Homo-oligomer: A and B are copies of this chain.
Amino acid sequence: MTTSGLTPTAQDYLKVIWGAQEWSDEPVTTSALAERLGVSTPTVSEAVKRLAAKGLVSHPRYGSIALTESGRRAALDMVRRHRLLETFLVTYLGYGWDEVHEEAEILEHAVSAAFVDRLERRLGRPTRDPHGDPIPSRDGELPELPAVSLCELAEGAAGQVARVSDADAELLRYLSGAGIGLDGWITVVRHQAAAGVLTVEVDGRRVDLGLPAARAVWVVRK
């Protein structure tokens, strides 16, 4: 297996590096990883050194951290595991979409490759997780979805919710409360950038979203 022989910590590093360069072009720095992983920068320095020694990342001194091809494969395998497990937790055990991330964060390191394959089949080969994120195939294929953040929608424009960031459980509960869920339709009523508020219409109801909430929701225009 591609993730065999890696510690859970190493797997998380690779996954976070992958995630960091996926939605932005900013260089992946030691401090950014430390921030996201909740550890100190020296801890990251040491860990990245070990990953580089294993040929999983490249890291010019004082430069930006990037995955090698084998690092990318391992990272995608972890993403696959994570998203399949989230899907399982919701559909089989009845978890809410705000409860699955933490559990999957641990389980992804514990299940075997056989478990993952069996699970995928049992779930009917799902293509996206409970937050709308695409699930990579066993051989590392990852469908792109043409979504943009709610923030980038002009006033009057409408879209269908394709993806919601699963980083913050609190925020997911808030969105549920506001009637926002996958595949729902949203119309942007008014941008109030100065106030950091975005007024939208969901199911005929007006809702004021804060900027963090608006940024977390991704829609497909139509």
Say yes or no: B107 contacts A111, CB within 8 Å. yes
CB distance from A89 to the nearest CB of B (A): 8
Distance between Cα atoms of A102 and B111 in the complex (Å): 11
Contact of A93 among B102, B106, B122 (CB under 8 A): B122
Contact with B along A106-118 (1 / 0, CB 8 A): 1101111011001
A93 and B118 within 8 A (CB): yes
Across the interface, do A94 and B115 meet the contact criterion of CB distance under 8 Å?
no
Partner of A109, one of B99, B110, B119, B122: B110
Copies of this protein chain in the complex: 2
Q: Is A92 an interface residue (CB 8 A)?
A: yes
Give A9 Cβ to nearest chain B Cβ, in Å.
14
Q: List residues of chain B with CB within 8 A of the CB of A95.
A: 118
Kindly provide the distance from the CB of A135 to the nearest chain B CB, expressed in whole angstroms.
17
A105 (CB) vs chain B CBs: closest residue:
B110
Measured between beta carbons, the chain B residues less than 8 angstroms from A112 are 102-103, 106
Chain B nearest CB: distance from A70 CB in Å?
23
A210 to chain B, nearest CB (A): 29
Q: Nearest-CB distance from A28 to chain B (Å)?
A: 27
Residue from the set A93, A99, A114 with the largest chain B CB neighbour count within 10 Å: A93
- Determine whether the beta carbon of B106 is less than 8 Å from that of A110: yes
Nearest-neighbor residue (CB-CB) of A111 within chain B: B107
Residues of chain B contacted by A99 (CB below 8 angstroms) = 114
**Residue on B nearest A108 in the bound complex, by CB:** B110
Give the distance to chain B from A130, nearest Cβ to Cβ, in Å.
Answer: 15
A residues with a Cβ closer than 8 A to B are 89, 92-95, 99, 102-103, 106-107, 109-112, 114-115, 118-119, 122
Closest 3 CB pairs of A and B: A110-B110, A93-B118, A106-B110
